Amino acid sequence: MTRDTHRAIEAVWRIESAKLVATLARMVRDVGLAEDFAQEALLAAFEQWPETGIPENPGAWLMTTAKRRAIDHFRRDQRLERRHEQFARERESQQQMAAADLEAATDDDIGDDLLRLIFVACHPSLSIEAHVALTLRLLGGLSTGEIARAFLIPEPTVAQRIVRAKRSLAAAHVPFELPRRAEFASRLASVLQVIYLIFNEGYTATAGEDWMRPALCEEALRLGRILAELVPEEPEVHGLVALMEIQASRLPARSGPAGEPILLLDQNRVLWDRLLIHRGLVALERARALGRSPGTNRLQAEIAACHARAQTARETDWNRILALYDTLIEVAPSPVVKLNRAVALAMATGPAAALESIDALVAEPSLRNYHLLPAVRGDLLGKLGRLEEARAEFERAASLTRNARERELLLRRAAGCQKRDG
Amino acid sequence: MTSQKVDKHMRFMMLMIPKGYEKATAGSMPDAKVVAEMMKYNKSLQQAGVLLALDGLHPPAMGARIRFSGGKPKVTDGPFSEAKEVIGGYWIIQVRSKEEAIEWACRSPLSEDCVIEIRQVQEMADFPPDVQQAAAGFAELQAGRPA
């Protein structure tokens, strides 16, 4: 039985498209054009491979075909120019150079090209929504429809976003090169932020939703792993991969049979994916081995690793987690981190000190509508026997969350406080 | 652009069945050139972000088989004369379709008459809810905690 050629071509495309677009983008210096030429090569594959069979080296076939299309494109432009009365010599010589470049261009380090593409997709001149759409499209090979379903937004919105982003890059003449040394760290941080955003969108998807959403976790993990091989000297990349592997290990345990969310400490740890935990710990070790003082990704991964190593919730090393949060607060002090630290403090020393530590957070403007703040306060108050106050906090938390299932969980906790009264 | 029917990410085990491995003597190792080619391939899987795990296995001459028959297990030391094909190693990859797994397998640098068998890994979500419940409860028992 022969391979279904159509599906085989789609599989080849998923493996090769990012590298193809990356190399073409370096050659033609325009991401939009690069994608067009790549798509033309794909079209040619769909036309020819059913007859000729899948070539020995499908990636090379696509590359050669796409390059030919690109060269034809620039030559055609030249001929059109000659028909005009006005004749911009500058334009002509530029196009001659481009065509010559293309013909001479070798397959430079594909890794470098891929890295350039990632950085261009996450260029600071674009919005984060554009970063996400371009990354998933150019590096993930996802269709407009798939991106739309994954983020619960209309397909035309995604299509427009991508078109505008490409135009914006072209208009700004964004060079297709790696960021300079001085900017590398902050540009890399942007890329990591985009990947983690994609991961979280998938991680917080609830059971029963379009399967495209949890697939985002796997897509983000794949992109993170690719990046870890492209810039293995960057500890924060390994830190992020470690964090994602370990978080992803919990996916099978995060929701109950009715789709209700299950909190970390209540999860059935036997369902945690041990392979992913192992991979996460290996990635964490790679981050540590680079020996620099830990960044936020690595610290968050260290905290996740503490949970992963505990066979049961009771065995969790809360003192270590607390120490890690203390370091995290020094590196990246944020109200959310302080809140998470309070949870660890409560587990390590008791609810009273923890409650005190977040008194200041109640006035924090950025947390005003953050449902987890009253949820944590409710939990701590409940543990201190202050049930009436706890109930009020849980009800407040329920009113702040947009997630229906979380709201149910919080209302149930509120009701739980009431029952124990009197 | 294409009418892509992308499936949820799936895990596949690629089982490598090298020709003649059933006859390999204890402690036999592949030659350096073969190893180098395989390392290059493994690296390509890693660089693509699809590799989850891999291992090579010592030949059956160093192994054993336990046959269950009539309720009693019967142990036989390798090599196994009746075996025509044995597993030499495996990869576990995470891809978006069976076709993608097939494409990766096609790219492996295996020599004449070697075989790769591709099998999809079962995930909890593949099973109906009652089976999932049972599996979760059973697993709890095994871990020594009340279900």
Task: Summarize pLDDT for A238-256 with one digit per residue, the tens.
Answer: 999 999 999 999 998 988 7
pLDDT computed for residue A85 by the predictor = 41
Report the C-alpha gap between A392 and A254 in whole angstroms.
26
CB of A255 within 8 A of CB of A280?
A: no
At residue B130, the pLDDT reads: 78
Q: Hey, are the CB atoms on B6 and A279 less than 8 Å from each other? A: no
Whether the pLDDT of residue A368 is over 60: the answer is yes
Nearest to residue A63, comparing CAs of A120, A122, A12, A3? A12
Does residue B131 belong to any structural domain of this protein? no
What is the arithmetic mean of pLDDT over A212-226? 92
Residue A109 in this model has a pLDDT that exceeds 60 = yes
Q: What percent of chain B has pLDDT over 70?
A: 86
For the ranges A111-120, A401-410, B129-138, the maximum mean pLDDT occurs at A111-120
DSSP state of A135: I
pLDDT at A261: 81
Give the pLDDT band of residue B41 (cuts 50, 70, 90). Answer: very high
Are the C-beta atoms of residues A34 and A24 closer than 8 Å to each other? yes
Question: Does A187 have pLDDT greater than 60?
Answer: yes
Predicted confidence at residue B8, as pLDDT, reads 65
A143 to B1: CB separation less than 8 angstroms, yes or no: yes
| pLDDT tops 90 at residue A199 | yes
Position A81 confidence tier, pLDDT thresholds 50, 70, 90: low
Q: Which residues of B touch A146 (CB under 8 A)?
A: 4, 6
Which residues in chain B have Cβ-Cβ distances shorter than 8 Å to A39?
A: 1
Whether the pLDDT of residue B5 is over 70: the answer is no
Per-residue pLDDT tens digits for A333-348: 999 999 999 999 999 9
Q: Which of residues 60-119 of B touch A (CB under 8 A)?
A: 92, 94-97, 99-100, 102-104
* pLDDT score of A111: 81
Domains: count for chain B: 1
pLDDT band at A99 (very low <50, low <70, confident <90, very high): low
Q: Which domain holds residue B99?
A: 10-122
Q: Higher model confidence: residue A235 or residue A78?
A: A235
**CATH 1.25.40.10 domain span(s) along chain A:** 331-422
The closest CB to that of A268, out of B97, B103, B136, belongs to B136
Mutation target to probe the A interface, by most A beta carbons within 10 A, among B9, B12, B126, B140 is B9
Q: What's the pLDDT at A107? A: 46
Residues A138, A223: Cα–Cα separation, whole Å? 11
CA distance A92 to A85: 13
Architecture per CATH, A331-422: Alpha Horseshoe (1.25)
pLDDT of A422: 47
On whether any CB of chain B is under 8 Å from the CB of A1, the answer is no
Nearest to A342 by CA among A362, A364, A322: A322
Sorting pLDDT into bands at 50, 70 and 90, what band is B139?
low
Complex prediction ipTM: 0.87
A108 neighbors A22 (Cβ within 8 angstroms): no
B128 interfaces chain A, CB cutoff of 8 Å: no
Whether the per-residue pLDDT at A93 is higher than 80: the answer is no
User: What pLDDT digit, counting tens, does each position of B92-113 carry?
Assistant: 999 999 999 999 999 999 888 8
Is there a contact between A271 and B140 if contact means CB atoms under 8 Å apart? no
Q: Name the closest residue on chain B to residue A218, using Cα atoms.
A: B9
> What burial class does residue B88 get, using C-beta atoms within 10 Å of its C-beta: 0-12 exposed, 13-18 middle, 19+ buried?
buried
Lowest mean pLDDT among A240-244, A330-334, A357-361, B35-39: A357-361
pLDDT average, residue stretch A278-302: 96
Residue B4 has pLDDT above 70, yes or no: no
Strands B89-95, B115-120: pairing is unpaired
Give residue A410's identity as a one-letter amino acid code: L
Q: How far apart are CA A26 and CA A15, in angstroms?
A: 19
List residues bridging with B74 in a β-sheet.
Answer: B67
Most trustworthy range by pLDDT among A71-80, A87-96, A108-117, B17-26: B17-26
HSE-up of A99 (CA within 13 Å, CB side)?
Answer: 16
Rounded to the nearest 5 degrees, what angle is found at the Cα of B42, between the Cα atoms of B40 and B46?
115
**Residue B141 to chain A, least CA–CA distance (Å):** 10
- Pairwise CA distance, residues A150 & B81, whole Å: 53
CB of A235 closer than 8 Å to CB of A295: yes
Contact criterion met (CB below 8 Å) for A318 and A343 = no
CB-CB neighbors (< 8 A) of A4 in chain B = 99
Helices (H), A296-371: 296-309, 318-331, 335-349, 351-357
The half-sphere exposure of A111 on its side-chain side, counting CA atoms within 13 A, is 13
Q: Could you tell me the pLDDT band of residue A98, with boundaries at 50, 70 and 90?
A: low
- Give mean pLDDT, residues A393-411: 89
Contacts of A58 in chain B (CB under 8 A): 103
Task: Indicate the DSSP class of residue A206.
Answer: P
Check pLDDT > 50 for residue B146: no
Task: Note the pLDDT of residue B145.
Answer: 44
Q: How far is CA A262 from CA A268, A343, A379, A409, in A?
A: 9, 17, 15, 9
Looking at residue B120, its pLDDT comes to 96
Partner residue opposite B9 with nearest CB, options A218, A230, A252: A218
Mean pLDDT of B111-139: 80
Q: Is A8 on the interface with B (CB under 8 A)?
A: yes
pLDDT of residue A265: 93
Query: What is the model's pLDDT at position B138?
Result: 54
Interchain CB distance below 8 Å, B99 and A7: yes
pLDDT at B135 over 90: no
* Tokens of residue B118, six digits: 């591709």
Q: Answer whether residue B4 is part of any domain.
A: no
Q: Is the pLDDT of residue A364 over 80?
A: yes
Q: Does any domain span residue B129?
A: no
Tell which of B3, B5, B6 to mutate to test the A interface (max A CBs under 10 Å).
B6
Q: Is B140 on the interface with A (CB under 8 A)?
A: yes
Q: Is residue B91 part of a domain?
A: yes
Report, as an integer, the average pLDDT of A23-46: 94
Interface of A with B in 296-315 (CB under 8 A): 311-312
User: Mean of the pLDDT values across residues A213-218?
Assistant: 89
Does the pLDDT of residue B3 top 70, yes or no? Answer: no
Tell me the longest C-alpha to C-alpha distance in chain B.
Answer: 58
Which residue in A has a C-alpha nearest to residue B97's C-alpha? Answer: A11
Q: Enumerate the residues of chain B whose CB falls inside 8 A of the CB of residue A3.
A: 99, 102
- A98: nearest Cα among A164, A51, A30: A30
| Residue B29 covered by a domain | yes
What value, to the nearest 5°, has the Cα angle with vertex A278 and ends A273 and A283? 125
Residue-level pLDDT at A76: 81
- Report yes or no on B76 lying in a domain: yes
Determine, yes or no, domain membership for B144. no
Q: What is the pLDDT of residue A96?
A: 63
Beta strand residue intervals within A63-161, DSSP E: none
pLDDT higher than threshold 90 for residue A200: yes
Q: What element of type H or E holds B118?
A: strand B115-120
CATH of the domain at B20: 3.30.70.1060
pLDDT of amino acid A86: 43
Yes or no, beta carbons of B2 and A211 under 8 Å apart: no
In a mutational test of the A interface, the residue from B55, B93, B103, B107 whose CB has the highest number of chain A CBs within 10 Å is B103
How many helices, marked H, and strands, marked E, lie in chain B? 3, 6
Interval A135-172: pLDDT, tens: 999 999 999 999 999 998 999 999 999 999 999 999 99
Beta strands B51-56 and B89-95 are: antiparallel
Pairwise CA distance, residues B71 & A311, whole Å: 34
Q: How far is CA A143 from CA A115, A150, A219, in A?
A: 21, 11, 13
Interface of B with A in 23-62 (CB under 8 A): 46-50, 52-53
Query: What are residue B93's phi and psi, to 5 degrees?
Result: -125, 155
**Residues of A in Cβ contact (< 8 Å) with B92:** 275
pLDDT number for residue B71: 86
Task: Please report residues of A whose CB lies closer than 8 A to that of B124.
Answer: 252, 271
What mean pLDDT is predicted for residues A289-305?
95
> Above 80 in pLDDT, residue B134?
no
